[in-house]
Structure 1
């Protein structure tokens, strides 16, 4: 959960680097929250999906900026410019390329975006 809170605290910080673990833990927790919202809608008996869609929409607005900034920092960790995030605008192939960028290992050395975050202590 600390990985999630770390990203939320840096919601507007595109400087620096975010390691794979930080990015993927944030994505995983977001997926779990989406599942919980869906389950809550089913428990409440939201047959038309209005409550689930409303809660999902509000949560999406809340998480929009932190998601983009952690993605940019993750690109920085692979020694790529944050402008590579725009590759998502290319249908299908853009998302595949972005997924590959998010999965590849960090640049092991200090790059123009900062020192390797793997050498820093992990949040607990």
Structure 2
């Protein structure tokens, strides 16, 4: 899955927590989030909407808009490695939680499971 397809898929499944997401889909959407944050930060500095707390109005709105699809693709990624989506809450544990999630997110897809057939076996959506 390429960058634009991954972003398009994640945004079209804005709040869809069912199904599975390939590793490339998750990491391309993560990259998209980082790029949006950088652009929003630059715009906040140029327009003077930076609140001095590290986040400006535009950055806050961008983060809020991308929160739900980020959670959804994270849950679908966990489904892809045969884990419950509730494991996303492990990320709330300071430092250790994020390390555990990163280890899980870099794992390869498992075969067919209770969340559906393996997305590796299916052609990418156009």
C-alpha displacement of 1:14: 1.1
The one-character-per-residue Cα deviations of 1:80-105 (angstroms, maximum 9, x if unpaired) are 00010111121111110011111111
TM-score computed with the length of structure 1 as normaliser = 0.89
1:117 aligns with 2:110: no
Gaps of 5+ in 1: none
**Number of residue pairs matched?**
121
Separation of aligned partners in 1, 2:84 and 2:91 = 14
1:71 aligns with 2:71: no
> Aligned with 2:123: secondary structure?
coil
Q: Which has the higher contact order (CA 8 A, sep 6+)?
A: 1
> Aligned with 1:36: secondary structure?
helix
Verify the 8 A CA contact 1:3 1:123 in the aligned structure 2.
Answer: no
Gaps of 5+ in 2: none
TM-score computed with the length of structure 2 as normaliser = 0.87
Q: What is residue 58 of structure 2 aligned with on the other side?
A: 55
Q: What is residue 8 of structure 1 aligned with on the other side?
A: 11
Structure with a larger share of its residues in helix: 1
Separation of aligned partners in 2, 1:105 and 1:27 = 17
Verify the 8 A CA contact 2:44 2:50 in the aligned structure 1.
Answer: yes
Structure 1 vs Structure 2 CA RMSD: 1.8
